[in-house]
Amino acid sequence: DGGITQSPKYLFRKEGQNVTLSCEQNLNHDAMYWYRQDPGQGLRLIYYSQIVNDFQKGDIAEGYSVSREKKESFPLTVTSAQKNPTAFYLCASSETANTEAFFGQGTRLTVV
């Protein structure tokens, strides 16, 4: 089955530690995105990538980093510089930058 997979579903980390969230897609999509969702709020764009080996900052990139070494993978690292990392993180992909996006099931990160 084609789809987009995020892992893990739940993640707990101690304050000050870096953590990497996985996002893999087998849809052969060029574009991939990371969003952050806080309780009762909409989605805010962290980073996006329109093609392999290229990515751009979104609205709230500070404290985050990404890589796009393979077409199917777009991992997100939440660094210790991110002041308030506890949130629900959503990864998405789209065939190109102008087509509909498909989302993974999300990773809920809790930093204690």
Partner 1 sequence: GEDVEQSLFLSVREGDSSVINCTYTDSSSTYLYWYKQEPGAGLQLLTYIFSNMDMKQDQRLTVLLNKKDKHLSLRIADTQTGDSAIYFCAENGNYGQNFVFGPGTRLSVLP
Provide, rounded to whole angstroms, the least separation between the CB of residue 78 and partner 1: 18
Tell me phi and psi for residue 7, to 5 degrees.
-145, 150
Provide, rounded to whole angstroms, the least separation between the CB of residue 8 and partner 1: 13
Tokens of 43: 């989605």
List Cβ neighbours of 20 (8 Å cut-off, separation of 6 or more): 75, 76, 77, 78
Residues that bind partner 1 (CB under 8 A): 6, 31, 33, 35, 41-43, 45, 48, 50, 56, 58, 90, 92, 94, 97-106, 108
Complex with partner 1: residue 19 or 36, whichever CB lies closer: 36
Complex with partner 1: residue 19 or 90, whichever CB lies closer: 90
Provide, rounded to whole angstroms, the least separation between the CB of residue 61 and partner 1: 12
Complex with partner 1: residue 30 or 72, whichever CB lies closer: 30
Q: Is 4 helix (H, G, I), strand (E, B) or coil?
A: strand
The CA angle 24-25-27, to the nearest 5 degrees, is 170
